[in-house]
A and B are shown apart, each in its own frame.
Chain A
């Protein structure tokens, strides 16, 4: 039950994009088309789960025992960067179609603050191993959900008559605001 609450909390109630404002750049940048939005969501979820595992192990078995907590930020960011590079190479070797689908989005994930935010939340909230993994899956699911909904709305928005200055990012942000209002409805769930 505890795990289920962590999952739901990360996915909808405290959605990374709409409640914590993490990962806004890809949220605005890649939400033009449904297909690319779902690819980006999948790639991010994948990296998030791996990051959750690796950052948990790194923090609890290397940084804490040696008293190196102050190195948290540089070590997390380096681990994430190398992890993304590693995932890219593995996917390239294993599955060409998947690589082609995710290809461009993988390097972008390194600078996605949602990933680093996830690692920091895990060390801040003292999750155990299973909880960290579930938290990673939930956060990834929530990110994908927000991205796909936004892409769906934006495909419709293309046809709308938006004032010239508001086209692109501004109207996307306003739409995201309305979406965030809708997601607030989940707040009573926990």
Chain B
């Protein structure tokens, strides 16, 4: 096994490098649907992280027991169990929150982030790493949802987490709370994060080229002198 990755990296990569919402573009349905207010966004991200962590842990423990032909079905059953737990707990403890999130708590079952991490990571790695990976992805998802919902709530209802931030003279942009605003805000954020990543890559590449150019020149001159 060529496992050079530290545990910290397993956790940290989910936050930016493979951020579920911005890099993998997974779990778009809840990302768009529940981000009208920051409160809903945080609740959704925490619920998803809970399901993700526990199902990754269980799947990773059972990865050698599950025959690969029926693995997807088995993963779904494990995930559905935890989603049911979350759904019932939310209904009992936070009835209002559960109502405002509507069918999106049960729909965590088909959230591709969870199945994606189960398939790509938990089925190949040990429990500790799987839990860290799940927590990292959950944190990344939380950051993405908070960013998106903060922008939408700020411009849509002048407040963040219910606290008014913009003055009354600011006319709220109703469109930001509506579905259209979700699509546009997510699209813009995704576009900017792609542009940023692209720029970083270009700069790294240019640096690499600059580093190697003198060596190449020296080499070619050598050849010329040899030929002469």
Task: Please judge, given known A-B contacts A164-B195, A180-B180, A184-B180, whether A171 and B83 are in contact too, CB under 8 Å.
Answer: no
How many A-B contacts if CB must be within 8 Å? 124
Residues of A within 8 Å of B87, CB to CB, are 73
A190 within 8 A of B: no
Find out whether the CB atom of B115 lies under 8 angstroms from the CB atom of A171. no
A67 within 8 A of B: no
Pick the contact of B25 from A22, A28, A111, A116 — CB < 8 Å?
A: A28
Q: What's the nearest-Cβ distance from chain A to residue B179, in Å?
A: 5
Find out whether the CB atom of A25 lies under 8 angstroms from the CB atom of B28. yes
Pick the contact of A111 from B110, B188, B191 — CB < 8 Å?
A: B110
Find out whether the CB atom of B178 lies under 8 angstroms from the CB atom of A174. no
Task: Please judge, given known A-B contacts A113-B107, A124-B103, whether A28 and B28 are in contact too, CB under 8 Å.
Answer: yes
Pick the contact of B188 from A24, A73, A77, A170 — CB < 8 Å?
A: A170
Residues of A within 8 Å of B76, CB to CB, are 77-78, 81
Q: Interface SS of chain A: helix, strand, loop or mixed?
A: helix
Q: What's the nearest-Cβ distance from chain A to residue B114, in Å?
A: 11
Pick the contact of B29 from A21, A81, A180 — CB < 8 Å?
A: A21
Find out whether the CB atom of A165 lies under 8 angstroms from the CB atom of B195. yes
Find out whether the CB atom of B178 lies under 8 angstroms from the CB atom of A184. yes
Residues of B within 8 Å of A180, CB to CB, are 178-180, 183
B65 within 8 A of A: no
Find out whether the CB atom of B182 lies under 8 angstroms from the CB atom of A177. yes
Find out whether the CB atom of B183 lies under 8 angstroms from the CB atom of A176. yes
Find out whether the CB atom of A25 lies under 8 angstroms from the CB atom of B181. no
Give the size range of B's interface with the partner.
35 or more
B206 within 8 A of A: no
Find out whether the CB atom of A116 lies under 8 angstroms from the CB atom of B183. no
Find out whether the CB atom of B28 lies under 8 angstroms from the CB atom of A77. no
Q: How far is the CA of A20 from the CA of B29 in the complex (A)?
A: 9
Q: What's the nearest-Cβ distance from chain A to residue B111, in Å?
A: 8
Residues of A within 8 Å of B84, CB to CB, are 70-74
Q: Interface SS of chain B: helix, strand, loop or mixed?
A: helix
Residues of B within 8 Å of A104, CB to CB, are none
Q: What's the nearest-Cβ distance from chain A to residue B213, in Å?
A: 25
Residues of A within 8 Å of B179, CB to CB, are 18-19, 21, 177, 180, 184
Q: How far is the CA of A178 from the CA of B175 in the complex (A)?
A: 11
Q: What's the nearest-Cβ distance from chain B to residue A185, in Å?
A: 11
Find out whether the CB atom of B178 lies under 8 angstroms from the CB atom of A111. no
Q: How far is the CA of A22 from the CA of B104 in the complex (A)?
A: 9
Find out whether the CB atom of B183 lies under 8 angstroms from the CB atom of A77. no
**Nearest residue in A to B183 (C-beta to C-beta)?**
A177
Q: How far is the CA of A39 from the CA of B20 in the complex (A)?
A: 28
Q: How far is the CA of A176 from the CA of B110 in the complex (A)?
A: 22
Task: Sample 13 A-B pairs with CB under 8 A, ordered by A number.
Answer: A19-B179, A70-B84, A73-B106, A77-B109, A116-B106, A170-B190, A173-B184, A173-B186, A175-B187, A176-B187, A177-B181, A180-B183, A181-B175
Residues of B within 8 A of A (CB): 25-26, 28-30, 32-33, 73, 76-77, 80-81, 83-84, 87-88, 103, 106-107, 109-112, 115, 175, 178-184, 186-188, 190-198
Known: A121-B103, A172-B187. 9 other contacts (CB 8 A): A21-B32, A113-B29, A113-B110, A117-B103, A174-B188, A175-B187, A177-B181, A177-B184, A180-B179
9 pairs of A and B residues whose beta carbons are closest in the complex: A165-B195, A177-B183, A173-B187, A177-B184, A170-B191, A174-B187, A165-B194, A74-B80, A166-B191
